[in-house]
Amino acid sequence: MKVLVVATSPLQVQNGIQYIRQTNGDFSRSVLAHVGSARDEDNERALTIANREAWARIGRFPPFRPLRSKDFVTVEDWRREETSNRAIFIEEIARFFTEVGTSHFETVLLGDYRPMSFRQFLQATEHGRPEVVLLDDGSVSRYVMRFRETGAGKEEATRGILPHLGAEDPFRIMEPTSLTYFTIYDEPIAQSDKILLNKQYEGAAYQDLRLLDNEVWICGANHVEARLAKQNEYIAICAAVRSWFPDKVVRYFPHRREQAEKLEIIQSKISANIEGYKYGIEEYVRETKTRPHRLVVFGSTVADTLSRAFAPSDTVVVATPSEQYFVKKERSDHIRNVIRDNLRSNTHVTGISPSTSNVGRWFSAESHMERVGRSIQSPGHLPDKPMYEQLDGLKRVTTKAGWARLCEQKSAHVHRAILGSFPGAEQDTAFLHVFKIRTEERYAFKLRLADAGEGGDFVEASAMFDVPGTHKRENDFGRIVLEIEVNSERISTVSVFFKAQKSVPTKLLLIALQGHGERVSRHRGIVQNGFSLARLLPREVETLSLPTSRQPCSVQTRLTPGESIFLVTRGHGSEKATLICIHSGHLTTLTATSLKMPIFGDFIIPIVHAQKADGLSDLLHGVSMSRPIVIASQDEKMLTCHGSDGVFAEIGLGPDIDVALLDFRSFKPIVLHAHESTSPSRERFGLTY
């Protein structure tokens, strides 16, 4: 396999090397085109890393700097000079390929998706139709994934695209029709794209790391230099972090673009050792085979990479800045998005506001995040019955691996499945129905809760089932809440919470919609169009073992606004597991204190409105953590959970319990931390106050 790597930064080069190693490539058949940075130090670092391997060729290109139209008297003058500027860069590329050849490049690796200069290398190789791979360089992959899948985040994903100069423009946009992501992030992508997971942070280079328990490392950021943050606020956050660890040695690893004057102030203010290692903190861990007591970041993909390298230890902490931190609110979105992804997408990352008091006590608490051999299966047994009761205007055409493919009937005008019938319930009880769907040709649906009798009343909610989100509707008849999760294989898990205002039998209908804009349920069927359904199946997952017989334990959960999580617990020695539904507020519309889930039997699931942890929700918008759920032994046999409003549920037989780490529907990680508590009634975000 002949590979072309186009890269600038040290991390891009390192990821190109990792790709070649991971795919069993041959460096003697691989070529690196290094497009220079404006900073000589960055170029030196990148080429030092590159020169560790025996490449067939390393080509060096000057930085491409587009000319600004405002620096010219007329637009015509700018257009003429910019055309020449671009032509010079194209000539450099042409000379390079004259030496290395353009044929037989099976793969082209781009260190970044955005720069037009990177994309021009595709002009010379497009006739061979090579696979185009985006190397993971910080948050770029996530922006591009979302943009290519949904069109969201266009401004960031395409900010390197230059204005077109007309027929004489030497540059072309060269948008890949298909893109492979070499990344640590396993997230939804466009159907034309694919993911190859970068496993370097799970590999042997990061195994058997020696713990430096007396050291705390701070990963520096260039927020001040980029004019995103105020210097006094940045220094204040560093000082707050220092106060969390009064007895530890603090080592500060600067961002490569931090200024020396600021580093001198940090060194003076917090008594930190400023490290001079040039090749990045990930490379430092790999080289020294060490890890600290805690690694603190201010929103960085280092949290994503090293939380994987340090797993299962909860070493990485994100210090979340306040609104006063930012120079301008409108320029803070990038940092907010990075912090949100740090917390939302990683199992072993903790977010803490620097304004929170007594953090040191929490860090000194004994952690129980070690996995144990026991596992929990979702409670109950699925009944041996179909995933729907009746089809109208739909026909089951195939069944494979638990999936039923349903296609429309040509003569029908309404295409629906009755998913289930439900009895009347007490006024403080709602129902939950969960199913999986592959949207295929039909992706817009309506879920209707209808009176099973002759009344004809109903409440319904519509949604695109291939897009994650929460949808709520209510009227005089009832209330319905949809939660849609979409995984990287584009399989959607749909959770339907519903309740009739009166205790009457109801039925739940899934109705396919057609059209653009205003979608309608009445349409003539197209026999080749349809979707596939599958039942929710229980699965065993890893657990934490909490010694609640010794003293109370606090469990902090990952709680995304607009989504619920289900904590599955089981007492030691017990076969019976229990579910607790925890939500961030959106289920209060049900006015219910408990759920019934008929597919798992008749037991009651308590509903808990968990309060958010301080200092996170306003900043992050898309993610927050719950205040800890404190679990304590009431006596030797029964356990109780304490939320913000006191005891909310009896959860199983004791004296100690196991808590599942994953949600039983989507199997996403939901438990962040568990600690022994000394003051369960006053816990907030795992801290006493």
Provide the greatest CA pair distance for the chain: 85
Q: Please tell me the distance from the alpha carbon of residue 680 to that of residue 662, in angstroms, as a whole number.
A: 24
Range scoring the smallest mean pLDDT among 84-93, 376-385, 636-645:
636-645
DSSP character at residue 680: G
How crowded is residue 688: how many other Cβ atoms within 10 Å of its Cβ?
Answer: 14
8 A C-beta contact, residue 36 and residue 75: no
The tens digit of pLDDT for each residue in 416-467 reads 999 999 988 888 899 999 999 998 888 899 999 999 987 789 999 999 998 8
8 A C-beta contact, residue 667 and residue 541: yes
Provide the residue type at 255 as one letter.
H
Instruction: Give CA angle at 645 (639, 649), nearest 5°.
Output: 30
The tens digit of pLDDT for each residue in 225-257 reads 999 999 999 999 999 999 888 889 999 999 988
8 A C-beta contact, residue 300 and residue 311: no
Closest CA to 340 of 318, 309, 367: 318
pLDDT value for 572: 66
- Mean pLDDT value of segment 639-649: 44
Q: What percent of the chain has pLDDT over 70?
A: 80
Query: For residue 296, what are the contacts with CB-CB under 8 A and spacing of at least 6?
Result: 216, 217, 218, 219, 241, 317, 318, 319
Phi, psi for residue 362 in degrees, rounded to 5:
-70, -40
Range scoring the smallest mean pLDDT among 275-284, 396-405, 557-566:
557-566
641 pLDDT band (50/70/90 cuts)?
Answer: very low
**pTM (two decimals):** 0.62
- Mean pLDDT value of segment 510-530: 81
Residue 655: asked if its preceding bond is cis (omega within 30°), the reply is yes
8 A C-beta contact, residue 32 and residue 61: no
380 pLDDT band (50/70/90 cuts)?
Answer: very low
Residue 312: asked if its preceding bond is cis (omega within 30°), the reply is yes
Question: Is 64 in a helix, a strand, or coil?
Answer: coil
